[in-house]
Amino acid sequence: MRPWHLEEQTREIDFDVVFFLATMALLVLGTVMIFSSSYFVSKELYGNGITMTKKHLLHVVLGTVAMLGIMAVDYRKLGNRNLVLLTLVGSALALVLCFVPVIGHSGGHSRRWIGLGPAVFQASEFAKMALILFVANFLSRKSRYMDDFARGPLPVLAVVAAMCLLIFIEPDFGTAAAIAIWSIMMLFMAGMRLKHLAIMMGGVIPLGIAAMVLEPYRFTRLKAFIDPWGDMLGIGYQIIQAMVGFANGRFFGSGLGEGTQKLFFLPAPHTDFILAVVGEELGFIGVLLVAVLFGVWIWRGFSIALATNDSFGYHLVVASVCLIGLQAVLNMGVALSVLPTTGIALPFFSYGGSPLLSTMCICGVILSVSRRARI
């Protein structure tokens, strides 16, 4: 059991400067790579190479303002049970509205977005933030029951399963799987018994395999991961082009803006596979820099969690860091061809307003906790 009291000699700090600088460094580097990777795509779609960068910069400004605003608020107000319930119900409703004509918006073969006037946002990003609040609130009150499956893990699993089901049928298997993995991580770190973890994994893993094998496009992704060279111009094309990007970059890269894979060779160079553009233009050094920045971000996040004297603050930061960190690891694993394609965005880097805004809001929460942490 973690002690929630610390010595009185400790002093209060304004905020964690290292975490803040790591966040801003990731944001700036991500913006630079968005400009480089999206220029030709933007020119093809909008007739202007910087249109997508302008949209991204708007979200950078909005996200930064949101982060600073949330940072100024006492995070303990987020633990209000009525607020947690309201955000949970609101996010579930948003996921349902994705399937309502006119309100719900589709992209590709998925219905993941809601349109409110000119604004369009991805409902699953709202769900992630709501689940962070719910899990942190629940664990801060019920962590002593983690060895009792019915009173501890089960309520969390039930809520997460309902959210994951709504996200899964959009369909968005990658996000649903990431949230499921994250929830199990949180429960395990909170003290769930190994026996319960083993039983759960025994049920979840077969379901995950079935979901991948029984759906044709997911099975195609799995085959492409196993043997991309078997269909170089078909299912294996994206993976191979990402490999080519990393190979072209070598150690120091071809130079910022000088990459060729983004010239319509690599699909989605500005979204899911933006790390391949980083690898081609900035080389191994650039990819290592991204990994180090995320490592510093995660390290300082956990340091903030360990420094707080409040159970809710601790679980809030751990849940936030684990979710963003897991997304980063999954995306980089896919780009480097060590994991099957999942469609998970790289936080701070992949193009998309909703993921960036939710990530910056989560950073604001972590910084709010750091302002009241003890060192």
pTM given for the model: 0.91
Return all residues near 374 (Cβ < 8 A) that are at least 6 apart. 6, 10, 11, 12, 307, 308, 309
Residue 253 lies inside a defined structural domain of this protein: yes
Residue 205 lies inside a defined structural domain of this protein: yes
Contact predicate 138/319, CB 8 Å: no
Residue 2 lies inside a defined structural domain of this protein: no
* One-letter amino acid for residue 197 of the chain: L
Reading phi first (left if > 0) and then psi (alpha if -120 to 50, else beta), residue 264 is in left
| Three-state DSSP class for residue 28 | helix
Confidence of residue 8 (pLDDT cuts 50, 70, 90): very low
What share of the chain in percent tops pLDDT 90?
Answer: 68
The per-residue pLDDT of the chain, averaged, comes to: 90
CA angle 313, 317, 320 (to 5 degrees): 140
Higher pLDDT, 197 or 347: 347
- Find how far residue 213's CA is from the centre of its chain: 24
Q: Is residue 69 predicted with pLDDT exceeding 50?
A: yes
Contact predicate 11/375, CB 8 Å: yes
Q: Could you read off the pLDDT of 15-63 as tens digits, one per residue?
A: 899 999 999 999 999 999 999 999 999 999 999 999 999 999 999 999 9
Rg (CA), the chain: 21
**Which pLDDT score is estimated for 374?**
61
Cα 358 from Cα 127, distance rounded (Å) = 10
Domain containing 130: what range?
17-371
Contact predicate 346/328, CB 8 Å: yes
Q: Could you read off the pLDDT of 189-241 as tens digits, one per residue?
A: 998 888 888 888 887 888 888 887 777 778 888 888 888 888 888 888 999 99
Residue for token pair 């009150």: 141
Q: Could you read off the pLDDT of 246-277 as tens digits, one per residue?
A: 999 999 999 999 999 999 899 889 999 999 99
Residue for token pair 């995306």: 331
**Which pLDDT score is estimated for 7?**
40
Residue 7 lies inside a defined structural domain of this protein: no
Contact predicate 152/145, CB 8 Å: yes
Q: Is residue 289 predicted with pLDDT exceeding 80?
A: yes
**Which pLDDT score is estimated for 108?**
66
Q: Is residue 10 predicted with pLDDT exceeding 70?
A: no
Q: Is residue 13 predicted with pLDDT exceeding 80?
A: no
Residue 151 lies inside a defined structural domain of this protein: yes
Q: Is residue 112 predicted with pLDDT exceeding 90?
A: no
Residue 110 lies inside a defined structural domain of this protein: yes
The total number of structural domains that make up the chain: 1
Q: Is residue 86 predicted with pLDDT exceeding 90?
A: yes
Residue 282 lies inside a defined structural domain of this protein: yes
Residue 327 lies inside a defined structural domain of this protein: yes
Cβ-in-10-Å burial (0-12, 13-18, 19+) of 350 comes to: buried
Furthest-apart CA pair in the chain: how many Å?
Answer: 65
**Which pLDDT score is estimated for 3?**
43
